[in-house]
Amino acid sequence: MSTAMEAMFAGRIHQDGHALRRTTLRHTNLTDPALGICLWRLGGERFRAAAVAWGPIGGPYKLAVAGEPRNRDLYFSALLPFAADLCKRIRRVAATQVARQRGRHTDYLPADALQIVVPNRTTVAALGLLGRYLAYLSDRGGVAPDPALVEAGKHLRFYARHARVPGQALLVPLDRLLAEHWATLLSPFEQANLAAVDAQIDPPRGVHAFDSGFAAEASARIGPEPTEDIDRITDELLARFNEARGGATEPATIGPLIAPIEAHYRRLVDPVWALMARVVDRERALPAAPSVPRRFEVDREAFGRRVDWVTGGGRYRTTDTPRQAAMTLRRLEEPLARYEAEKAIEDPAAMVPYLLDGEAVRGVVASLNDQYRVRFRVKAVRRAIIALDTDDPVILPLGKKLWWTATAHDHHWEVQDVTANGAGSRITLMLYAAPTPARLPGVGDRITFSVLHTSSDGYRLPPPQNPPWTHTSAAPPAPPEPIDAGDGDPPAAAVDGATLPDPGVYA
Amino acid sequence: MHACPTAAVAFAARVDTNRVLTGTTLEMPFGQSPFAIGRGVAFEALLRRHGHAELRRVLTEGLGVDFSQAGIENLREGYQPNTTGLKLRASVTRSRMAEIIASPAEPVVLDGAVLRADVGGLPAFFEADEMAIGVGGEIVVGENKSWPVVDGRPTDEDALGSALDQAATYVLLGRRTLDDAGVDPDRVSSNAVLVTPRNTGLTAVLHRQNVDGRVRRIERLLSAVPHVADIATSVPADVTFDVAADTSLPEQERVDAFAEVSDRLGRVYEPASCLSSCGFAWACRQCAFATGDPALSGGVVARALPGVVSLSRVAELSHGAPASAVEAPVAGPLARAGRLYDEAVPVPAPRRRRPA
Amino acid sequence: MADYIEARFGEHVEPRAFAGLRRDERRAWGKGSARPTYIVPALEGRFYQPIRGLLALSDWPLERRLIGPWSERADHLAATAQLARQLAWLNDRDPDGAKRLASVVAGMARSIPGAMDGTGVDTARVENAAEAERTALLTRDDPWRREAAARARDQLTDEQQLWGTTVGVVGEGPQEGRGRSASSS
């Protein structure tokens, strides 16, 4: 991140009154339509989705409301339609496969993947916890839980874990999508409120982004964690509901009693649902960056592999072995570097921070010599040398490796010399490969070199199958176990904050 | 707890920052869901019921010392819920800590220990959930939280961080208390204890974590709080939060009064810490916007702009306006950022505006 | 207590009602009515302040009305043992009532090592386990209670011994909180 860039954004947004785009392209795949999920928990209850809304983004949503989500029977019967529908959608999408040729090897991967869009990162975490809970349910009273709940739990757990992969688009939290594509006056802390970000991007006519963002922040409720005002209402409705049902859990009794709670959550979901559609529409209008399909292919591959495994009854470990942890770290590091590189190489706006931080140079090719001879060990080889005239003075160490953005997947160039040249600098660069037409810019071209490249950092040994004893824990990691042991306990009584005695700790 | 003069004056004057702007649109929504509060209350009650049975179990299992026969001094019961009660509890805590170190034979728990600290030269009280004292005569600080831990990981990383900060504060204050009593402060362990529910139920589980780094950070924060006596001499007698807090006045008048007071005192607006803890945060943010304070978007931007007074000036410099001598060091990068951005994003994307 | 009343007599008592009860009792005592026994608050053992929600009878010895570091657990064990005895008695006479009480006893006994090892509630086992743990605790709890009661008799008026004190703080400094300005509430 370039601090000058951030400061420039803050100044201009303050002056212009609206957010500014950080990119000229969209770097995240957005399928049409994605499956939207919006959920509300009961306050403080991290495993209890009081309401789950799902459906195609931009279309109507279905709503699952348990009434009393802390009652296992009510909770599971409310979640079941959601779980079953999710499993059905995932299986349907995964069913259509395409062949992919890699050398002499053909593999099959899903033609598409089910993309899930949620309002924010907190929802991603909430879905992950819900998945962890449902994926390993124990029998209760000899009754096995509905398999759809367990399967949906495994899918959700996979989605939430995959969401850590940089540049992935299987599970898209919209707050992150906007933060990547837009600069606003909001600090990172405030960017968690999707409504506030949206309001800064698209303020009503004549209203400054700051004011419109503040109004949204003060009034919009996004979830999944409810605010006090929401749960005061929930508390009242739930007390009435529990009294009326008198311990009953059968649908016939519950059905008529649940309507007020459902209406309460509909009022909460409606604006979020509309907001999600508006945000997705706006970003979809931007052209996708060239590497978006490649990254989504990686997603599709992961999706297909996991669906096969889950529907085949596979179980995940809950704790990583040291080997897995090392692999995971690398799985996340490499895509991060590659994603950042692809973004900047493809998108001139995303390259600006690198230019500002001296990690990239831009200029006009003043001369080209592709007959330059250098002695490499014993043999003289042909190399290309160019002189690049930059607008601004640059400081680069000799020998620094740079890649021309047009060949960022290919060989690097090295800085041979830097001299002052008018207001800017003249950089001499040598290509570290045999000069071919594709590798050479033309004289007079305005081009960019940067430290970013998209080829893998060479061949890396996989971690050993049997890790050394220093990296082995005393006990093997625990196998997955159900975590639902306490979910049948009687729920805690709600407590109104206003009735708590104020200990006056700081007074 | 930071270097903001407005917050420090409010603290010195015993003004509750959460109440001053009550009823205005700038009142901070710090309230909690009744279910979240109820869960916290239920978890605490679970640990304490039946003579602290669950707390005894979890300490025994987690610390490897038998707490089933431990004396548990319950400082939550009997003491008044006011400053008098807190002072009494702080005094009991202090004398018990010294006693325990002097005779370390038996495990002891102080439930609801209260530690006294000077913040900016004024006494403040901090209520710890537990101070568990192991047999070695070492004092271990404990904090109970009702969010669950699953597979050994917290379900909320932010909540974990603030819980550890809280524990670190008690470690620091516990050490100071011992130091004042002429006892080796290192008898308060650096490894704090966190008691949380495990998985979906409320069954408790104990975690230990070293909080040394946090202790050092909190010590720095506490020492940065301006001394109230110094502020008092520099604050004009007519500075008051009374007008801002007067609910009979129209909102604008109250908000203006607050802005005037904080303009005169000075303020340090830092989004992440202010917005999560100070009742003035939205009001200060409003002031920061009105004056174009670079702190508005966070510390990264503010620190990048030494010598530049306002965001409007930043915008001008980014369009290539000539810089003054003090602005010179940042003017170059700003102008370049503006020029490169304009080159990359030449025409602003057509904007669809919603009607006001 | 509310759980016990509900299980034993089938009556639901709102726990909050106990607070009003204490107030009324205090007033009745103040009027000097000629009742032999009052419901009084239990007292903590440092400053003898009344503990909200923990009740005792005025004719209990002071030792029994004080709550110290081992007392809550010891009292819980005593109550569990007592209820186990009641349950044993009830098992033969009122199976329905016994069933209700058994779940209360089970809940109370769950934290006592060895009390709930078998299936269902074995009243003898519960009683033995509770008494065993209590006996061990009493070596600490009894001396503490005796010492605290002796101190109270030395320092407090009869009224304060029943209803507790309201402690004020005199001055700041090292002696803070040790002020003896106890006044009757």
CA distance A187 to chain B (A): 5
C-alpha torsion B276→B280→B284→B286, nearest 10: 90
Parent domain of C82: 69-144
- Which chain C residues touch B77 with a CB distance below 8 Å? 44, 51-52, 54, 67
Whose structure tokens read 């009683």?
A: C127
Q: Which two tokens stand for residue B303?
A: 């620190």
Please indicate, yes or no, if residue C58 is contained in any of the structural domains: yes
Whose structure tokens read 């759809």?
A: A148
Bond before A33 cis per omega within 30 degrees: yes
Q: Which two tokens stand for residue B255?
A: 């908000």
Contact C75 B53 (CB under 8 A): no
CA distance B96 to chain C (A): 12
Instruction: From residue C181, give the alpha-carbon distance in Å to each of A58, A187, B91.
Output: 71, 53, 16
Test the C interface: residue of B72, B76, B91 with most C CBs within 10 Å: B91
Contacting B residues, span 16-55, partner chain C, CB-CB under 8 Å: 50-54
Asked whether residue C38 falls in the same domain as residue C17, the answer is: yes
List subunits contacting chain B, requiring 3 or more Cβ pairs under 8 Å.
A, C
Asked whether residue C90 falls in the same domain as residue C63, the answer is: no
Interatomic CA distance for residues B66 and C115, integer angstroms: 18
- The answer to whether residue B205 neighbours chain C at the CB level (below 8 Å) is no
Mean pLDDT of A443-448: 92
Half-sphere exposure of C148 (CA within 13 A, CB side): 25
Please indicate, yes or no, if residue C151 is contained in any of the structural domains: no
Ranges A50-54, A276-280, B109-113: which has the least confidence: B109-113
Interatomic CA distance for residues B280 and A298, integer angstroms: 47
Q: Give the ipTM.
A: 0.89
Indicate the DSSP class of residue B145: -
Interatomic CA distance for residues B253 and B176, integer angstroms: 44
Interatomic CA distance for residues C18 and C8, integer angstroms: 18
Ranges A327-336, A396-405, B52-61, B157-166: which has the least confidence: A327-336
pLDDT exceeds 60 at position A314: no
pLDDT exceeds 50 at position A83: yes
Nearest of B111, B105, B100, B188 to residue B143 by alpha carbon: B111
Interatomic CA distance for residues A234 and A67, integer angstroms: 9
Indicate the DSSP class of residue B198: B
Please name the residues in contact with A313: beta carbons below 8 A apart, sequence gap of 6 or more: none
Q: Is A21 helix (H, G, I), strand (E, B) or coil?
A: strand
Asked whether residue C60 falls in the same domain as residue C25, the answer is: yes
Summarize pLDDT for C83-126 with one digit per residue, the tens: 999 999 988 888 888 888 898 999 999 999 888 887 788 999 99
Instruction: From residue A500, give the alpha-carbon distance in Å to each of A408, A492, A494, B145, C55.
Output: 62, 16, 12, 17, 22
Test the B interface: residue of C44, C67, C105, C142 with most B CBs within 10 Å: C44
Facing residue for C169 by CB, picked from B53, B54, B84? B84
Mean pLDDT for chain C?
A: 81
Interatomic CA distance for residues B35 and B235, integer angstroms: 43
Q: How many CB atoms lie within 10 A of CB A462?
A: 9
Contact B53 C51 (CB under 8 A): no
Angle in degrees, CA B44, B45, B46, rounded to 5: 90
Q: Which two tokens stand for residue A138?
A: 């124990």
Q: Is C180 helix (H, G, I), strand (E, B) or coil?
A: coil
pLDDT exceeds 70 at position A29: yes
- Cα nearest neighbour of A493 on chain B: B38
Facing residue for C72 by CB, picked from B52, B57, B78? B52
Radius of gyration of chain C (CA): 19
Half-sphere exposure of A209 (CA within 13 A, CB side): 24
Facing residue for C69 by CB, picked from B57, B71, B80? B71
Facing residue for C49 by CB, picked from B78, B91, B108? B78
Mean pLDDT of A110-118: 95
Summarize pLDDT for C10-57 with one digit per residue, the tens: 666 666 666 677 777 777 777 766 677 888 889 998 899 998 778 888
Test the B interface: residue of C80, C169, C180 with most B CBs within 10 Å: C169
pLDDT per residue as tens, chain B (356 positions):
457 888 888 877 778 888 899 889 999 988 889 999 999 999 999 999 999 999 999 999 999 889 999 999 999 888 888 888 889 999 999 988 888 888 777 889 999 999 988 877 778 888 888 877 776 788 999 999 999 999 888 888 888 998 999 999 999 999 999 998 888 999 999 999 999 999 888 999 999 999 999 999 989 888 887 777 777 677 777 788 888 888 899 999 999 999 998 888 888 899 988 998 899 999 999 999 999 999 998 888 888 888 788 999 999 999 998 988 888 889 999 999 999 999 998 765 555 555 54
What percentage of chain A's residues is helix, strand, coil (to nearest 5)?
45, 20, 35
CB burial of residue A33 (10 Å; 0-12, 13-18, 19+): middle
pLDDT on residue C176: 35
Asked whether residue C129 falls in the same domain as residue C84, the answer is: yes
| C26 in Cβ contact with C8 (< 8 Å) | no
- Which chain A residues touch B330 with a CB distance below 8 Å? 4, 7
Number of domains in chain C: 2
pLDDT category at A325 given cuts 50, 70, 90 is low
- Cα nearest neighbour of A318 on chain B: B151
Q: Is A52 helix (H, G, I), strand (E, B) or coil?
A: strand
- Which residues of A239-359 form beta strands (DSSP E)? none
Test the C interface: residue of B69, B103, B122 with most C CBs within 10 Å: B69
Interatomic CA distance for residues A205 and A189, integer angstroms: 26
Cβ burial A325-337 (10 Å sphere, 16+ → b, else e): ebeeeeeeeebee
Among A437-441, B327-331, C147-151, top mean pLDDT goes to C147-151
pLDDT on residue C72: 92
Q: Report which of residues C162 and B229 the model is more confident about.
A: C162
pLDDT on residue A315: 54
- Which chain B residues touch C72 with a CB distance below 8 Å? 51-52, 72, 74
pLDDT on residue A328: 63
Asked whether residue C82 falls in the same domain as residue C136, the answer is: yes
DSSP β-ladder status, A424-431 and A379-390: antiparallel
Ranges A3-7, A408-412, B238-242, C123-127: which has the least confidence: B238-242
pLDDT exceeds 50 at position C182: no
pLDDT category at A323 given cuts 50, 70, 90 is low
| B77 in Cβ contact with B49 (< 8 Å) | no
Tally: H helices and E strands in chain C: 7, 5
Radius of gyration of chain A (CA): 28
CA distance A293 to chain B (A): 23
Q: Which residues does residue B74 pair with via DSSP β-bridges, in sequence order?
A: B111
Three-state DSSP string of A157-189? HHHHHHCCCCCCCCEEEHHHHHHHHEECCCCCC
Interatomic CA distance for residues B283 and B21, integer angstroms: 8
Asked whether residue C75 falls in the same domain as residue C60, the answer is: no
| B72 in Cβ contact with B35 (< 8 Å) | no
Interatomic CA distance for residues A71 and A48, integer angstroms: 10
Asked whether residue C10 falls in the same domain as residue C55, the answer is: yes
Q: How many CB atoms lie within 10 A of CB A495?
A: 20
Mean pLDDT of A160-186: 94
Indicate the length of chain C as a whole number: 185
Mean pLDDT for chain A?
A: 87
Contact B35 A10 (CB under 8 A): no
Please indicate, yes or no, if residue C119 is contained in any of the structural domains: yes
Mean pLDDT of A16-33: 94
Asked whether residue C128 falls in the same domain as residue C110, the answer is: yes
Summarize pLDDT for A459-490 with one digit per residue, the tens: 455 555 555 555 555 555 555 788 888 787 77
Whose structure tokens read 């998108």?
A: A347
Lateral strand order in the sheet of A35-41: A62-65, A49-56, A35-41, A116-118, A171-173
Tell me the residue type at B25.
T
pLDDT on residue A462: 53
Tally: H helices and E strands in chain A: 12, 15
Half-sphere exposure of B222 (CA within 13 A, CB side): 20
Contact B349 A21 (CB under 8 A): yes
Domains of chain A, first to last: 3-316 (no CATH), 348-450 (2.40.30)
Q: Which two tokens stand for residue B287?
A: 């002031």
Asked whether residue C77 falls in the same domain as residue C123, the answer is: yes
Tally: H helices and E strands in chain B: 14, 10
CA distance B51 to chain C (A): 4
| A355 in Cβ contact with A2 (< 8 Å) | no
pLDDT exceeds 90 at position A106: no
Interatomic CA distance for residues C80 and C63, integer angstroms: 20
pLDDT on residue B319: 93
Please indicate, yes or no, if residue C3 is contained in any of the structural domains: yes
Please indicate, yes or no, if residue C164 is contained in any of the structural domains: no
Angle in degrees, CA A348, A354, A355, rounded to 5: 80
Facing residue for C76 by CB, picked from B50, B57, B78? B50
Please name the residues in contact with A275: beta carbons below 8 A apart, sequence gap of 6 or more: A119, A194, A195, A198, A220, A222
- Which chain B residues touch A229 with a CB distance below 8 Å? 29, 31
pLDDT category at C148 given cuts 50, 70, 90 is very high
